[in-house]
Structure 1
Amino acid sequence: MSEVPFVMPLLRDGVNPVEELGALRSEQPIVQLEIPGIGVKVWLVTRYDDVKAFLGDHARFSNDFSKVTEAGELQMLLQQDPGGLGMIDPPDHSRLRKILTPEFTMRRLRRLVPKIDAIVAAQLDEVEKAGQGADLVEHYAMPIPALVICDLLGVPYEERDEFQKHSQDRFNFTGDFSDSLGEIGESLKYMGGVVAKIRQNPNDGLIGQIIAEHGDAITDVELAGLADGILTGGHETTASMISLAAHVLMKNPDHVALMRDGDDKQVSDIVDELLRYLTVVQVPFPRLAKEDLVLGGQQIKAGELVIGSLVAANRDESLGANMDEFVPERGSMSHLAFSYGIHRCIGAELGRMELRQALPALFKRFPTLQHQGPIDETEFRMFSIVFGIESLPVAW
């Protein structure tokens, strides 16, 4: 095949990955791309088994770039530590994840259901108040996860606009890595201020609870990184899923009816199929090979960078028939929408919970909800690590 552009894993045709990505998975499942402007090459992995293999292999692949001396030219990109769990290895990763894990068990998360329901109901009122042509992104999809995370972390609701800005800006790829890294720095600076305020005046949110339980054993820098990871991992992704899921469901009245009237099991299965089909997080955190190794028959040298296309992996025909189609009755399966291994999204169950509450409620309030204007004019967010919709005007 001809040279593959670096942005290919971020390109879509509607909600589907571009055909060229599927062709890569079939013909050249591990291919080298070049990062524009700096000449550094990375391996793109597209087959399900290969993506799952390297995501689950923290013994041979590192997320902590600062400890991989073979990174060479990549060091210029790694001066900004993004904080959180995404780019650290055990034992630091294990210690910090252990602090967070109790807050994301189903038992703990169930206490959020009444709050989520109240937030959903309030935003449905906002959609109705906005009237015909209301933008579902602005009035529904974006505010719900922002308000849920504000409540979870113990951050005042009035700061949700600041939340949304930091969450969205860092995922857009314009070709200039310094812009993305600068946004990471701004986000961490903001969250550091939030942590400092809560340490002085603790509340019963997640940040306050961690401070109360662990005190000085966790630093403000570490805690800001964890909180920032929850914000960026749980806001933009869930907002994109709500709007994209509504877009997909509204194309077929039978699918709307299933979501609106289905029992808990049916709704859960539809949500899981939407997660697989849409795979809004297009690529996970990159990995660096710690040693010379072979992945999927491809020789990879120590210090080389590897990324995976989660959407290509989740459409792999090895998983079953018609994987390029949305099939509500498919049921739950072992997809990679939340990544895999020790870096699997810690807030996966919270995201699922928000979708299971927000989507049926939307179509119960507006059973005739439909796109306002031609569906094929829907404006998608391109060149973004988190795929989404810019706006979604609706009528009912």
Structure 2
Amino acid sequence: MIPAALTDLPLWPPTNLGRDPLVPLDPGERDRFDAPVTKVRLPTDATAWLVTRHADVRQLLRHPGFSADLSRPGFPLLRALPPGALSDRRGGFIRMDGMEHSRLRRMLTAEFMLKSIRRIEPLIRQTVDRTLDDLRDAGPPADLVATFALPLPSMVICHLLGVPYADHDFFQLRSRTLLDRDAAPELVREHVAQLRDYLHRLVEAKCAAGDRADDLLSRLARDRVDTGELAVDELVGMAMLLLIAGHETTANMIGLSTLLLLRDVPGRYAALRDDPDQADTLVEELLRYLSIVRTGLPRLALEDVEIGGQLIRAGEGAIAVLSTANRDPVVFDGPDEFDPYRQAHQHVAFGFGVHQCIGQPLARAELRIALVELARRFPDLRLAAPTGQLPTRDNSIVFGLDALPVTW
């Protein structure tokens, strides 16, 4: 039973089943959240302030008066957490504030700098070629998600971290549970424990080996754990965060981007093949237009802060909606139109401020190389199912397609 005081508040996230997967919010939904800051009801029957405009979202995400720590009382959760879920969150720095957050993030900064990602581009290209071979061998027709979009970033992040790709079914299933807002709390707790146990054994083995392996977890074990700067459990938490984020987000972007390029505008896909030098610009527009973290980034006010003309008081929740910020007409001309030549670098698809995605150079490189090579090797690629029949991940924190049938 919804408390009477909440019945007039719009529910966030809205129910979007049956919508166009390329549209984060349909016109009717956007009308309900049209104000710069709107009070909404969450699935937990708590309330929060929904922040939708580009400038306001940036202000919220960079303001030190808002916390990303979901263990704080009153934090605006989109689902009930299982008992004990917050008892061991060490290493999960995206849910930390201040020095606790920056200490762990600094240990990874050099690993994900642009120059570091450029050094591994040959690995990305080799992995793209391998997965495109698998796509060719699987069809036509074939499921692009299962044979290309998901394996590619999984292989790359496994190689970088030093996680055996042979175990991908194990961690992909558990990753999806952790991102599913409708997953039963008991199942979430079970899968968190299983994934932590798996990574704990892996990290312990790397710490014990004392070898010169060049993967990220081995380097952190050698350079940070052995020196006492980092606890084993903190490294496990960091590994868990990077493993989940490193394949789920990019996989969903590849699938949705391919759908967009093949649909609606004839010649858009061919242009990617014929003019690959425009791929960097195209990728930024894809990130802006698709905005796959559609439920927004939740924060808790630690002090009274005015955002978009609305006073958000200490103890109240706020949610920065990246998808609406990325379609703000004040910043982007014709924001509901996809323009592959748009200079869309002001988008906030990776967040903003100190918590913005540390892996964004890797995600950009994977998406650019994947789409260019897909267009080059499969020039006649086309959809093999109507958009309305495509299974979507509506209840996931990271939106995407469960399958994308294609032929050529």
Residue 3 of structure 2 aligns with which residue? none
Residue in structure 1 matching 2:280, options 264, 268, 286: 268
Give the TM-score of the pair, scaled to structure 2: 0.89
Q: Distance in 2 between matches of 1:123 and 1:74?
A: 35
Which residue of structure 2 aligns with residue 106 of structure 1? 114
Other-structure match for 2:149: 141
2: distance between equivalents of 1:15 and 1:71? 30
Tell whether the 8 Å contact from 1:80 to 1:185 is kept in structure 2 after alignment.
no
2:67 to 62, 68, 80: 62
Which of the residues 6, 14, 24 maps onto 2:12?
Answer: 6
- Cα distance change on mapping 1:380 and 1:65 into 2, 3 Å: closer
Please give the alpha-carbon distance, in whole angstroms, between the structure 1 residues aligned to 2:199 and 2:308: 40
For 2:308 and 2:386, the matched residues in 1 are separated by: 43
Query: Which aligned pairs between 1:7-26 and structure 2 lie closer than 5 A?
Result: 7-8=13-14, 12-16=19-23, 17-26=25-34
**What letter matches 2:92 in structure 1?**
G
> What SS does structure 2 have at the residue aligned with 1:286?
strand
Matched, 1:378 2:385: no
Quickly say closer, same or farther: Cα 1:33–1:271, change in 2 above 3 A: same
Cα distance in 2 for residues equivalent to 1:375 and 1:71: 36
Partner of 1:196: 204
Q: Which moved more, 1:172-181 or 1:360-369?
A: 172-181
SS of residue paired to 1:173: coil
The answer on 1:393 being equivalent to 2:405 is yes
- Gaps of at least 5 residues in structure 2 are 1-6
Asked whether the 8 Å contact 1:286–1:305 carries over to 2, the reply is yes
In terms of fraction of residues, the more helix-rich structure is: 1
Supply the RMSD in Å over aligned alpha carbons: 2.4
Question: Which amino acid in 2 is paired with 1:132?
Answer: P
Answer yes or no: is 1:40 the counterpart of 2:46: yes
In structure 2, relative to structure 1, the CA distance for the partners of 1:178 and 1:288 (3 Å cut) is: farther
Q: What's the CA shift for 1:374?
A: 2.4
Shift of residue 25, structure 1, vs aligned partner: 4.6
- Match of 1:395, as an amino acid? T
Deviations 1:11-68 (A, max 9, x none): 7533102223422453x232222233x43222221111111111111x20011244x4
Segments of 4+ moved more than 6 angstroms: 72-76
The CA distance in 1 between the partners of 2:301 and 2:253, in whole Å, is 32
Q: 1:151 maps to which residue? A: 159
Change in 2 beyond 3 A, CA 1:179/1:305: farther
Distance 1:90 1:275 in 2: 28
Cα pair distance change 1:116/1:51, threshold 3 Å? same
Look up the match of 2:331: 319
Shift, 1:129, TM fit:
0.6
CA change 1:9–1:196 in 2 (3 A) is farther
2:234 is matched by which residue type in structure 1?
E
Aligned to 1:3, the other structure's residue is in SS state: coil
Instruction: Check whether the contact 1:273–1:327 (CA below 8 A) recurs between aligned residues.
Output: yes
The answer to whether the 8 Å contact 2:293/2:399 transfers is yes
Out of 125, 132, 136, which is 1:128 matched to? 136
Q: Could you tell me which runs of 5 or more consecutive residues in structure 1 were left unpaired when the two chains were aligned.
A: none
Q: Which stretch of structure 1 is more off in the superposition, 298-307 or 77-86?
A: 77-86
Which residue of structure 2 aligns with residue 29 of structure 1? 36
Q: Could you tell me how far 1:393 is from its partner in structure 2? A: 0.8
- Partners of 1:303 and 1:125 in 2: CA distance: 53
Q: How does 1:294-333 map to 2 (within 5 A)?
A: 294-333=306-345
Residue among 254, 258, 261 paired with 2:271: 258
Distance in 1 (alpha carbons) for counterparts of 2:56 and 2:40: 17
Match of 2:4 in 1: none
3-state SS of paired residue (2:330): helix
Residue 313 of structure 1: how far off its partner (Å): 1.1
CA contact (8 A) 2:288 2:344 kept: no
* Secondary structure in structure 2 of the residue aligned to 1:193: helix
1:355-384, Cα deviation, whole Å (9 max, x unpaired):
111001011111010001323322222122
CA distance in 1, matches of 2:247, 2:148: 13
Counterpart position of 1:286: 298
Are residues 1:53 and 2:59 paired? yes
**Identity across aligned pairs (percent)?**
38
TM-score by length of 1: 0.92
Post-superposition offset of 1:285 = 4.1
Q: After alignment, is 298-307 or 166-175 more displaced?
A: 166-175
Give the Cα–Cα distance (whole angstroms) in 1 for the partners of residues 134 and 279 of structure 2.
24
CA 1:21–1:198: 2 relative to 1, 3 Å: farther
Contact 1:25 1:47 in 2 (8 A): no
Kindly tell me: are residues 179 and 23 of structure 1, through their superposed partners in 2, closer, same or farther at Cα, counting changes over 3 Å?
farther
3-state SS of paired residue (1:217): coil
1:207 aligns to what?
Answer: 217
Q: Is the 8 A contact 2:276 2:372 kept in 1?
A: no
Compared CA separation, residues 141 and 341, structure 1 to 2 (3 A): same
- Secondary structure of the 1:387 match is coil
Q: Residue 287 of structure 1: CA displacement? A: 1.0
Contact 1:142/1:236, CA 8 A, preserved across alignment: yes
